[in-house]
Amino acid sequence: MKEPSPLHSLEWLSLSPLPTWLCWAALLALLALLVFHYRGLLEERNASMRRLLWGLRLLAAAMLLLFVVEPGRRSRTLAHVPGRIAVLVDQTASMQLPTRPGAETRAAEAAKVVQTLLEQSGERPERVELFALGESLRPVTLASLKEETPQAEHTDLLAGLQALQQATQGSKALLGVVLLSDGADNTRLRHGLSAQAEAFLKSLKIPVSTVLIGEENLKDIAIERIHSDGFAFVRSKLQVDASVRIRGFRGKKFNLMLKSEGQVLASKEMEAELEDELQTISFEVVPDRTGRFVYTVAAEVFPEEVLTDNNERSFSLKIMRDRIRVLLVSGRPSWEGRFLRGLLKEDSNIELISFYILRNHDDPTEVSDESQEMSLIPFPMRDIFDEQLLSFDVVVFQNFGYNEPQLMVSVYEGNLERYLFRGGAFLLMGGDRSLGESKQGFQELARALPVEATGKADLQKFNPKLTPKALRHPIMAYGKNNEETKHLWAQLPPLQGINRTRAKKTATVLLEHPTLYTGEQKLPVFALWEYGRGRVAALMVDSTWHWAFRAHSTGAPSHNYERFFKNTLRWLSRDPDLMPLQISADAPRFSTGKTVGATLKTRTADYAPAPHTRVSVELLSSEKQQQIQKLEVETDTEGHAHLEFHGLDKGAYTLWARSVVAAEQESQDAFIIEPLGEELLSARTSAALLKALAEATQGRFFKSHSVSFKDIPLHKPTPVEMGRSRDEPQWDKWYFFLLFVVCCVLEWALRRSLGYV
């Protein structure tokens, strides 16, 4: 580099020790005296004499001002110290994309431009500093730019310039900035320069020249955004809106498809009307299973597209039950039935179908004309227990046990038993017409019950007690810990009466009588079990309404009554959150190249941890339903296991977990692997943004093939003083004093000769 030659500078200044305000006061006083003198000379009729006197007075005043101001001359030696030029290179993930179809990446082209600038700067005194603009601003070298793969997930050009302003507070001035980028800002400058951004750029007071990396007007079809809820209800319609960006395919028709698990669910034809436009297409999804599933919106791929990975985009949906469909059959009107029906009816998550048996077949109507008796519809036994039974999620018998031909369920017990064995749910509630109090007990259905009747009911009041298993069961565990759960149950009012039963061997008893026994067991109050693939619970009382009635009477309801029955329905209907085997990915979405984690939990039928349980786990490709990996794991002492999957490609995946011992226990989850953020979802470049940024800072816009170091606008460096300056007074010359004296004496002599003195 050439060393800058020194410059010599001369400047005039005042060397007077007097303050500035006093010098100005002296000047004003002299002006006032000159005005007064000039008015006095107006009486002189001889014009030549008047001009001579006026000239002598002006010259004397000038000499007097010279002595007050004391002018001097300062000589300095200055040098222009070379400044710095900052070169910012975009290192966000979009720089991985090719500059055009089949060409090198934008990052490679940016490295070539940097190398050209460094070669051209050899004859310039300015120092070039390289910075990588990614998640933060960091110094780099040309070698590292060539080797590194851009990874940053967001492009924020303003943040880079702000960081540069703070990072370049060195001794050498920053003369200019060169920004190499594709201009695909997806943060604050997404929609161009705002007034606030433009004000910040002007405040930099540094010219920012921009270089466009990548070609304009690239052809690309991109699924920019999927608009849908994060959950949906089974058998209910859900609208999915896909925003599709179409560039360079004006007049072209192509298909947009909605797929799941390798099946095309819907397809729509699209046509671009402009060179660059955003269209929104809507699909309807009707899920038929609960769980988490991945759906994919995909557009046709054309050979001339610069990027094809963005032609499809996946999203996950958690499919839940819309409402639990409950059939409630009450043997007769009662407070228990009234409270339970009211609770279920007011819950928006429950679709309730209920029947009350208002009279027995033999009950007298006391109507003389049988044709005029009460108009009561007959109990639709066949419709419910034959045709519609499978449509119910839970069936509840509340104090129901008739043996009349019109009301007997014996004909349909086989249907009920098969319904439960194949995955249905049943709750049997006690009363004076249920269990041992019924005139005729169940036969086939009795096999599905977790208890068996042992005698007549006991009508005494009692407070049910929690069993040890109840403290960890999701139906009963209300508190944050065991002590709080015990305290909440102890506050409940007593119940009136209990049906005498015996719990079967594999049944789980959650509530029991405090004092009454059947054999060596205490009488069960609430028991449940799994029957085949179904679930059955039995409640041997019909006075739980006391829990609600007493709680509301105080004006501060505890809601334990509501919790009990809603938790029971959740357990019976197999709420996914209460399943004994659960597998879940650590997140619904992972970034490419990251490790995918999944958590496995196993519990026993009574919801204790299931330690050392062997579980088979399959990882499938959701699109092709192909097995990617299969492994068998064993849970730890807490019933937990954590799995990790490495090196998975972009796409949608499904996890299936199945118990090795109990094949009917299984769980499913799904996740997506894709680039996070928007960097690799669009191939756009923005020359307009880079031009606007350069204009706002008085810089210059270049395309990558036309950039030249000598054409980059730079601020001129501020000269720096070398050595000490020297001041030379210019007022203390003898001839200035002599001139002042001569003017004063000559003026005095002339005025005296003219008679003014």
Q: pLDDT, tens digit, for every residue of 102-127? A: 889 999 999 999 999 888 876 666 68
Tell me the pLDDT band of 528, cut-offs 50, 70 and 90: very high
Going by pLDDT thresholds of 50, 70 and 90, the confidence category of residue 597 is very high
Q: Is the dihedral of CA 606, 607, 608, 612 positive or negative?
A: positive
Q: Tokens in use for 225?
A: 């955004």
> 4-18, 231-245, 723-737: which has the minimum mean pLDDT?
4-18
How far is the C-alpha of 637 from the C-alpha of 639, rounded, in Å?
6
How many other CB atoms sit within 10 Å of the CB of residue 278? 13
CA pseudo-torsion sign 674, 676, 682, 684: negative
> How many other C-beta atoms lie within 10 A of the C-beta of residue 171?
7
> In the structure encoding, which two tokens stand for residue 730, read together?
């210019």
pLDDT at 365: 47
Q: Between these two residues, 33 and 144, which has the higher pLDDT value?
A: 144
What percent of the chain lies above the pLDDT cut of 90? Answer: 20
CB atoms inside a 10 Å sphere around CB 657:
24
pLDDT score at 284: 87
The helix/strand/coil state of 19 is coil
pLDDT tens-digit profile of 639-652?
A: 899 999 988 888 88
Closest CA relative to residue 564, chosen from 346, 334, 352, 344 = 344
Does the pLDDT at position 77 exceed 70?
no
**Residue 186: per-residue pLDDT:** 85
| Alpha carbon distance 473, 662 (integer Å) | 20
pLDDT digits (tens, 9 = 90+) for 539-549: 999 998 888 87
Give the burial string for 660-685 (b: 16+ CB within 10 Å, else e): eeeeebebbbbbbbbbbbbbbbbbbb
Contact yes or no for 453/435 (Cβ under 8 A): yes
Q: Is the pLDDT of residue 657 over 80?
A: yes
- Cβ burial of 368 (10 Å; 0-12, 13-18, 19+) is exposed
Nearest to 674 by CA among 653, 656, 654, 694: 653
* Integer angstrom CA distances of residue 201 from 156, 275, 547, 696: 14, 31, 69, 6
Give 79's pLDDT tier (boundaries 50, 70, 90): low
Q: Which residues contact 211 (CB under 8 A, 6 or more apart)?
A: 113, 178, 179, 180, 181, 690, 702, 703, 704, 707
Summarised one tens digit per residue, pLDDT across range 134-153 is 888 889 999 999 988 888 88
Q: What is the pLDDT of residue 370?
A: 47
Q: State mean pLDDT over 309-336.
A: 83
- List the structure tokens of 727: 């001041």
- To which residue do tokens 């009950």 refer? 363
- If we measure between CA atoms, which residue out of 393, 381, 569 comes closest to residue 475? 569
DSSP 757: -
What are the C-alpha distances in Å from 215 to residues 100, 169, 186, 219, 315? 6, 35, 18, 10, 31
Residue 374 has pLDDT above 50, yes or no: no
- CA pair distance 494, 78, nearest whole angstrom: 100
Number of other residues whose CB lies within 10 A of the CB of residue 577: 8
Rg over alpha carbons for the chain, rounded to the nearest Å, is 46
Please name the residue that has the structure tokens 């557009």: 299
What is the C-alpha separation between 561 and 296, in angstroms, rounded? 44
Q: Is the pTM of the predicted complex or chain greater than 0.85?
A: no
User: In this structure, what token pair is assigned to residue 386?
Assistant: 């034959």
- Could you tell me the pLDDT band of residue 551, with boundaries at 50, 70 and 90? low
pLDDT at 212 over 60: yes
Q: Average model confidence (pLDDT) for the chain? A: 82
pLDDT 10s digits, 740-754: 777 777 877 777 776
What's the pLDDT band for 522 if we cut at 50, 70, 90? Answer: very high
| Mean pLDDT, residues 13-18 taken together | 74
* Mean pLDDT, rounded, for 710-728: 72
For position 235, what pLDDT does the model report?
66
Lowest mean pLDDT among 316-330, 462-476, 579-593, 657-671: 657-671
For residue 281, is it left (φ>0), alpha (ψ between -120 and 50) or beta? Answer: beta
Amino acid at residue number 346: E
Residue 37: pLDDT over 50:
yes
- pLDDT of 90 > 90? The answer is yes
pLDDT per residue over 561-591, tens digit each?
Answer: 888 888 898 888 877 777 778 888 988 888 8
Give me the DSSP letters along 2-15.
PPPPPEEEEEEEE-
Q: Rounded to whole angstroms, how far apart are CA atoms 403 and 400?
A: 10
Return the higher-pLDDT residue of 515 and 287: 515
The whole-number average pLDDT for the span 411-421 is: 84
Q: Which residue has the higher pLDDT, 53 or 354?
A: 354
- Kindly state the average pLDDT of the residues 310-323: 81
Mean pLDDT value across residues 83-96: 89
Provide the 8-state DSSP code for 304: T
Cα–Cα dist 49/132, whole Å: 81
Q: What is the pLDDT of residue 558?
A: 56
- Helices in 559-666 by DSSP H: which ranges? 560-572
CB neighbours of residue 164 within 10 Å: 21
Give the 3-state DSSP-derived string for 142-207, with helices as H, strands as E and coil as C.
HHHHHHCCCCECCCCHHHHHHHHHHHCCCCCCEEEEEEEECCCCCCCCCCCCCHHHHHHHHHHCCC
Side chain identity at 418, as an amino acid letter? R
